[in-house]
């Protein structure tokens, strides 16, 4: 896999992209490039459009105007096609709380045809294997649930990780663990976009930071 | 991954969740049993009970269906899993088919228990010649109920007040199943002089209903949960 500096095709390409929530343009002409293996921090006040930008990149919102492409797919026409290759982790983890950690990772991995070895590897990478793998998700700590959700992303072979406030609800050890995981994932080829208000921690994690203000993206 | 394979994964996942949480066995089945007992108290006359037993079985099934559908989508919404399936690009037809299949399995178990309750509590006889009609009625009615329940469960899942919206949407839609299945079971059990041959046209209606809502639901489910 080529490095961010030499890879010619950005993972995310937004050109004057507009996304509308109801009648409100939550994203009002955003322009952004994100290269493979980057960890990009989106910072900005509440309501600035960070979450909308993540949801647009995940193919969950239509592009009202401008151009938006993710992993080579033009989102104006191929929103559904891009989704299997993208992982969006918001305030919820997207887990089945009455299933075990292993059952959750197996389920999400199976939806893309991941092999047993890939699922085992994903669980080992996020350290949710062994005894933890057999526990019900409902009984886990917030940090363990977060790691399980990330293991599901790995098992799903998501190439672009879109994380909304990933450190929320985690204790100091959980945050350190999450940062290590994200750095390892980026090193392994994933591209990560993080929206966060925790600028000190997320800033240290990110390889680049942009500011989202009034639905537009500004380089600091 | 094909739609059938993913539908199977979704159905297996839903049944595993129910098996692990024990909500079906510890809450839904007892709820259905209590409903049958309450009916027996309300209609405390053997003749009346025997006459209305088929209808009571299906009424109890419909009430329990609402609980099962609420439950089926509650597990999806509890930690944002339904949203995650959208993001993961899981084919909505497969989600619909898988959830409907899991619901159908639960309904068949429920109906067997309710029929047993009707035999025990209401003194209902099950003549041997009516058993094939009874089995086919149960299968076709179950398919229709599972399809309608999944479709409207998916629709209601996106709204606030989904708990009250679901019965409002579902009960009128399943009225044809209630009527058809009751008449067919009356024919199978020989209630009020009905004969088995009277039941098969009603099975035809139930089949048309199941196919219509099965196909329509699979096509409509994607837009319903996506927007």
Q: What is the ipTM of this complex?
A: 0.86
Q: Does A111 touch chain B (CB under 8 A)?
A: yes
Q: Is residue A57 part of a domain?
A: yes
Number of H helices, E strands in chain A: 7, 10
Residue of B16, B89, B225 to mutate, interface with A, max A Cβ within 10 Å: B89
A contact test, residue of B2, B12, B21, B79 with most A CBs within 10 A? B79
B83, closest residue in chain A (CA to CA): A94
The answer as to whether A3 is a domain residue is no
Give percent of chain B above pLDDT 70: 99
Average pLDDT value for chain A:
90
**A88 to chain B, minimum CA–CA distance in Å?**
7
Report the percentage of chain A scoring pLDDT > 90: 64
Percent of chain B with pLDDT over 90: 71
C-beta of residue B114 within 8 angstroms of C-beta of residue B36: yes
pLDDT number for residue A35: 94
Q: Which residues are within 8 A (CB) of B177 and not within 5 positions of it... i.e. 6 or more apart?
A: B58, B62, B141, B144, B145, B148, B206, B209
What range does the domain containing B57 cover?
3-226
Contact A68, A75 (CB under 8 A): yes
Contact A83 B79 (CB under 8 A): no
- Report yes or no: A173 and A132 within 8 Å, Cβ to Cβ: no
Contact B172, B178 (CB under 8 A): no
Nearest CB neighbour to A86, from listed B9, B87, B90: B87
B75 CA to chain A: closest CA distance, Å? Answer: 7
- Number of separate domains in chain B: 1
Mean pLDDT over B148-167 rounds to: 86
Q: Is A160 helix (H, G, I), strand (E, B) or coil?
A: strand
Instruction: Domain of residue A213: give its range.
Output: 12-218
| Interval B75-97 mean pLDDT | 91
Contact between A110 and B83 using a beta-carbon 8 Å cutoff: no
**Beta strand extents in A7-49 (DSSP E only):** 12-21, 24-34, 39-43
pLDDT 10s digits, B113-152: 999 999 888 888 889 999 999 999 999 999 999 999 999 9
Residue pLDDT, tens place only, A76-103: 999 988 998 999 998 889 999 999 999 9
Q: How far is CA B142 from CA A157, A207, B26, B63, B90, in A?
A: 37, 55, 21, 14, 25
Look-up: residue for tokens 């309450």?
B38
* pLDDT, mean over chain B: 91
Q: Is A94 on the interface with B (CB under 8 A)?
A: yes
List for chain A the helix, strand, coil content (%; round to 5). 35, 25, 35
Cα B105-B212-B54 angle, rounded to 5 deg: 55
CA-closest candidate to residue A103, choices B99, B88, B7, B15: B15
Task: Please indicate, yes or no, if residue A18 is contained in any of the structural domains.
Answer: yes
Beta bridge partners of A67: A15
Q: Assess if residue A101 is contained within a domain.
A: yes
Q: What is the pLDDT of residues A147-199, one digit of tens each?
A: 899 999 989 989 999 999 988 878 888 888 889 889 988 998 899 999 998 88
A128 near A106, Cβ under 8 Å?
Answer: no
Of the segments A164-168, A187-191, B80-84, B176-180, which one has the largest average pLDDT value?
Answer: B176-180
Q: pLDDT tens digit string along B25-67? A: 999 999 999 999 998 888 877 778 888 899 999 999 999 999 9
Chains A, B: CB contacts within 8 A come to: 74
Determine the Cα–Cα distance for residues A51 and A214; give it in Å rounded to an integer: 12
The DSSP 8-state label assigned to residue A44 in this structure reads -
B80 touching chain A per CB within 8 A: yes
Instruction: Tell me whether residue A6 is in a domain.
Output: no
Dist CA B20 CA B191 (whole Å): 40
Smallest Cα distance from B105 to chain A, Å? 19
Instruction: State residue B49's pLDDT score.
Output: 82
Q: What's the pLDDT at B227? A: 61
Q: Confirm or reject contact between A54 and chain B (CB < 8 A).
A: no
CA B65, CA B112: separation in Å to the nearest integer?
Answer: 14
Of the listed ranges A3-12, A168-177, A181-190, B182-191, the one predicted with least confidence: A3-12
Reported as a single tens digit per residue, the pLDDT across A35-45 is 999 999 999 99
A90: distance to nearest CA of chain B, Å? 9
- Enter the tokens of residue B191: 């209630």
* CATH code of the domain containing A85: 3.40.50.300
Q: What is the pLDDT of residue B27?
A: 93
pTM for the whole structure: 0.87
Contact status, residue A71 vs residue A82, Cβ threshold 8 Å? yes
Mean pLDDT in residue range B103-115: 96
pLDDT for res A2: 39
For residue A4, is it within any domain?
no
pLDDT value, residue A3: 42
Length of chain B (residues): 227
pLDDT the model gives residue B203: 96
Contact B9 A111 (CB under 8 A): yes
- pLDDT band at A4, cuts 50/70/90? very low
State residue A8's pLDDT score.
Answer: 64
Task: Provide the shortest C-alpha distance from residue B20 to chain A (in Å).
Answer: 6
Tally of structural domains, chain A? 1
- For chain A, percent of residues with pLDDT exceeding 70: 96
B22 to chain A: closest CA residue: A98
Quick check: is A1 in a domain?
no
What's the confidence (pLDDT) of residue A1? 39
* Phi and psi at residue A213, to the nearest 5°: -135, 125
Q: How far is A220 from chain B (nearest CA, A)?
A: 30
From the list B1, B17, B79, the residue facing A111 with the nearest CB is B1
Evaluate whether residue A203 is within a structural domain: yes
Any A CB within 8 A of B13 CB: yes
- pLDDT 10s digits, A197-219: 888 888 899 999 999 999 999 98
């Amino acid at each position: 896999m080529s490095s961010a500096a030499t890879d010619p095709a950005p993972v995310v390409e937004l050109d004057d992209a507009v996304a509308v929530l109801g009648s409100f343009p939550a994203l009002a002409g955003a322009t952004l490039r994100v290269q493979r293996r980057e960890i990009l921090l989106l910072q900005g006040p509440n309501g600035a459009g960070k979450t909308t930008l993540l949801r647009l990149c995940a193919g969950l919102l239509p592009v009202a105007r401008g151009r938006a492409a993710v992993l080579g797919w033009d989102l104006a026409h191929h929103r559904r096609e891009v989704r299997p290759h993208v992982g969006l982790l918001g305030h919820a983890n997207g887990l089945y709380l009455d299933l075990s950690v292993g059952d959750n990772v197996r389920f999400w991995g199976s939806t893309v045809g991941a092999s047993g070895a890939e699922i085992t590897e994903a669980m080992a990478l996020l350290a949710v294997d062994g005894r933890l793998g057999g526990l019900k998700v409902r009984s886990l700590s917030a940090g363990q649930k977060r790691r399980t959700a990330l293991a599901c992303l790995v098992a799903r072979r998501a190439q672009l990780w879109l994380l909304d406030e990933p450190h929320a609800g985690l204790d100091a050890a959980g945050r350190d663990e999450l940062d290590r995981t994200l750095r390892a994932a980026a090193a392994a080829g994933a591209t990560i976009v993080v929206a966060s208000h925790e600028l000190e921690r997320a800033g240290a994690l990110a390889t680049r930071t942009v500011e989202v203000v009034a639905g537009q993206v500004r380089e600091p | 991954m094909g739609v059938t394979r993913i539908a199977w994964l979704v159905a297996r996942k839903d049944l595993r969740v129910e098996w692990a949480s024990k909500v079906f066995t510890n809450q839904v089945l007892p709820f259905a049993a209590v409903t049958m007992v309450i009916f027996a108290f309300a209609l405390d006359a053997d003749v009346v009970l025997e006459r209305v037993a088929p209808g009571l079985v299906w009424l109890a099934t419909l009430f329990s269906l609402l609980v099962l559908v609420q439950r089926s989508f509650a597990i999806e919404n509890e930690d944002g899993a339904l949203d995650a399936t959208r993001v993961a690009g899981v084919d909505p037809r497969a989600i619909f088919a898988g959830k409907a299949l899991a619901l159908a399995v639960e309904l068949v178990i429920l109906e067997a228990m309710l029929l047993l309750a009707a035999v025990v509590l209401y003194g209902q006889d099950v003549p041997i010649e009516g058993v094939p009609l009874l089995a086919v009625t149960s299968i076709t009615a179950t398919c229709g109920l599972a399809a309608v329940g999944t479709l409207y469960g998916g629709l209601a899942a996106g709204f606030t007040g989904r708990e009250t919206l679901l019965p409002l949407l579902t009960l009128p839609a399943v009225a044809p199943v209630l009527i058809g299945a009751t008449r067919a079971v009356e024919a199978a059990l020989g209630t009020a002089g009905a004969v088995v041959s009277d039941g098969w046209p009603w099975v035809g209606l139930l089949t048309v209903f199941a196919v219509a809502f099965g196909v329509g639901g699979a096509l409509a489910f994607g837009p319903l949960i996506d927007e």
